């Protein structure tokens, strides 16, 4: 197995370039983890869960909060990369970036299916605006003649 060694700036440029080619969007409503009795369940209003996880208490699903007041709510980014995207190290890079610049607590659900890799990233709902600003910074192209790759 061959691993190319990159300088930090090369990694930043490669991963920001991959992020610019991803299908990225901030989901319009908050999500929350809810305990469910079995796999999978559709919420009462028809919203599908976007992630499932097993805890000590059973299965949990990440579904739209729909006005619920009894649980932590998360603002989510949906990212989808084509199978050929060079995203080695992306999870750690993006997590450290969001923890430094948006909020130290976050959730991640990721996987691959068919020809794409996908991930959902979440920060507490009250930081939705900061999440949007950070995504805009990371997906913007550097200015012509700029010496840096954005705010670091």
pLDDT digits (tens, 9 = 90+) for 26-41: 999 999 998 887 766 5
Do 49 and 85 sit in the same domain of this protein?
A: no
Residue 104 lies in a domain: yes
Residue 103 phi, psi dihedral angles, 5° rounding: -170, 145
Do 50 and 122 sit in the same domain of this protein?
A: no
The pTM of the full predicted model, rounded to 2 decimals, is 0.82
CA distances from residue 40 to 5, 60, 70, 116, 143 in whole angstroms, order as listed: 42, 9, 21, 22, 46
Residue 100 phi, psi dihedral angles, 5° rounding: -75, -40
| 3-class state of residue 138 by DSSP | helix
Do 116 and 42 sit in the same domain of this protein?
A: no
**Number of structural domains in the chain:** 2
Residue 63 lies in a domain: yes
The residues facing 111 across adjacent strands are 118
pLDDT tens sequence across 64-104: 998 888 889 999 999 999 888 889 899 999 999 999 999 99
* Token pair of 13 as six digits: 């440029």
Do 88 and 129 sit in the same domain of this protein?
A: yes
Do 64 and 91 sit in the same domain of this protein?
A: no
Closest to 16 (Cα-Cα) out of 87, 112, 79: 87
Do 11 and 61 sit in the same domain of this protein?
A: no
Do 60 and 100 sit in the same domain of this protein?
A: no
Distance of CA 57 to the CA centre of its chain: 25
State which residues form the domain around 65. Answer: 31-72
């Amino acid at each position: 197995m061959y691993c190319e060694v990159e300088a930090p700036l090369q990694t930043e440029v490669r991963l920001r370039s991959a992020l610019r080619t991803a299908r990225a969007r901030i989901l319009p409503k908050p999500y929350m983890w809810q305990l469910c009795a079995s796999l999978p369940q559709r919420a009462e209003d028809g919203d599908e869960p976007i992630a499932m996880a097993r805890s000590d208490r059973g299965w949990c699903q990440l579904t739209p909060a729909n006005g619920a007041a009894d649980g932590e709510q998360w603002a989510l980014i949906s990212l989808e990369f084509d199978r050929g995207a060079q995203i080695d190290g992306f999870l750690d890079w993006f997590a450290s970036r969001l923890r430094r610049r948006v909020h130290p607590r976050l959730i991640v659900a990721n996987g691959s299916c068919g020809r794409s890799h996908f991930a959902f990233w979440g920060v507490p709902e009250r930081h939705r605006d900061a999440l949007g600003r950070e995504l805009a910074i990371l997906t913007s192209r550097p200015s012509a003649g700029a010496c840096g790759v954005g705010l670091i």
